[in-house]
């Protein structure tokens, strides 16, 4: 962030041709991993992430169990090939921080009280990155938790907003993140208008933050719809497949 000397806005358009309030294209697929209890593939422009959810399952060692609720373990990991230059494998300060804030972003919607002494494990693997991977990861994890059948109050939705060449813009790409003035990732429960994660790298005035939050909220409403649609699509297809297979079994039995 904040390296100088690159023009990021020209004739009211951004470096990738987007308008200030325009999201990158989003693609969501639910249930992409057969061994996970729930999973989701989430694409946000050039970002590609997969979330896998396991549990609730018994937590070991026992002394870290909570007698009243499930604990959530969230691991954000960047593949070595997900960045321009190979990233050293394994956890680092950045991934530990992202795992923590992402877990805290999701915890308010998960009904952990239903599963004492257990763990719900969320793995987010970044396959390709172009800024916004933590937000893509939270969106994917939220859908994967629902796919795993974990009781939730609602989904959590996430997007980044920021400041580039003096303009408030939505969903920064890597250039904008590197050379812009500020990057502010947000996660929220859209229908409650409740923010569950808010971070800031850079500087914005109070009015700019207000404007950025408005932009983030509108974008989260759109992403929330896409998350819901992806879940509905998966389960509608599943019901259809089951009905077809029942029909086929009935045919077999007749013969």
Q: CA 63 → CA 88, 114, 193, distances in Å?
A: 32, 19, 36
C-alpha–C-alpha distance, residues 236 and 246, integer Å = 15
Quick check: 109 and 154 in contact, CB under 8 A? yes
Q: Which stretch binds ligand ADP (CB under 6 A): 17-25, 52-60, 65-73, 124-132?
A: 124-132
Shortest Cβ 139–ligand ADP spacing (Å): 12
Residue 243 in tokens: 């009905």
The answer to the question of residue 131 lying near ligand ADP (CB under 6 A) is: yes
Q: CA 26 → CA 12, 50, 235, 251, distances in Å?
A: 23, 13, 20, 41
Among 77, 102, 112, 129, binds ligand ADP (CB under 6 A): 129
> Can you point out the beta strands (E) in 175-243?
182-189, 194-198, 201-202
C-alpha–C-alpha distance, residues 94 and 85, integer Å = 16
Closer by beta carbon to ligand ADP, 20 or else 175: 175
10 Å Cβ neighbour count for 30?
24
Q: Which stretch binds ligand ADP (CB under 6 A): 6-14, 23-31, 83-91, 227-235?
A: 83-91
Closer by beta carbon to ligand ADP, 134 or else 234: 134
The answer to the question of residue 177 lying near ligand ADP (CB under 6 A) is: yes
Q: Which stretch binds ligand ADP (CB under 6 A): 80-88, 161-169, 212-220, 236-244?
A: 80-88
Closer by beta carbon to ligand ADP, 118 or else 135: 135
Binding mask 28-67 for ligand ADP (x = CB under 6 A): ----------------------------------------
Positions 213 through 242 that interact with ligand ADP (CB under 6 A): none
Quick check: 211 and 168 in contact, CB under 8 A? yes
Q: Which stretch binds ligand ADP (CB under 6 A): 31-39, 50-58, 100-108, 123-131?
A: 123-131
Q: Quickly tell me which residue has 């979330």 as its tokens.
A: 51
The answer to the question of residue 162 lying near ligand ADP (CB under 6 A) is: no
Shortest Cβ 140–ligand ADP spacing (Å): 13
Residue 184 in tokens: 């502010």
> Can you point out the beta strands (E) in 130-207?
157-164, 167-170, 182-189, 194-198, 201-202
- Which residues here bind ligand ADP, judged by CB under 6 A? 83-84, 87, 94, 129-134, 174, 177, 183
């Amino acid at each position: 962030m904040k390296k100088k000397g690159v023009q990021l806005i020209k004739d009211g358009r951004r470096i990738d041709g987007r308008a200030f309030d325009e999201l990158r294209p989003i693609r969501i697929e639910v249930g992409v991993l057969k061994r996970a209890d729930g999973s989701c593939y989430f694409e946000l422009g050039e970002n590609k992430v997969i979330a896998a959810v396991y549990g609730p399952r018994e937590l070991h060692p026992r002394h870290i169990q909570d007698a009243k609720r499930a604990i959530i373990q969230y691991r954000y990991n960047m593949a070595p090939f997900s960045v321009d230059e190979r990233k050293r494998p394994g956890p680092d300060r950045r991934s530990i921080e992202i795992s923590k804030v992402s877990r805290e972003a999701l915890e308010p919607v998960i009904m952990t009280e239903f599963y004492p002494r257990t763990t719900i494990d969320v793995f987010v693997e970044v396959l390709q990155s172009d800024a916004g991977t933590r937000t893509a990861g939270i969106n994917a994890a939220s859908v994967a938790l629902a796919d795993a059948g974990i009781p939730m109050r609602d989904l959590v939705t996430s997007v980044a907003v920021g400041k580039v060449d003096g303009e408030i813009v939505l969903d920064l790409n890597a250039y904008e993140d590197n050379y812009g003035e500020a990057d502010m990732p947000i996660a929220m429960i859209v229908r409650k208008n409740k923010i569950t994660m808010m971070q800031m790298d850079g500087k914005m005035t109070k009015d700019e933050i207000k404007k950025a939050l408005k932009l983030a909220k509108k974008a989260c409403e759109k992403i929330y719809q896409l998350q819901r649609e992806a879940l509905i699509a998966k389960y509608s297809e599943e019901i259809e497949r089951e009905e077809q297979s029942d029909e086929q079994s009935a045919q077999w039995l007749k013969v």
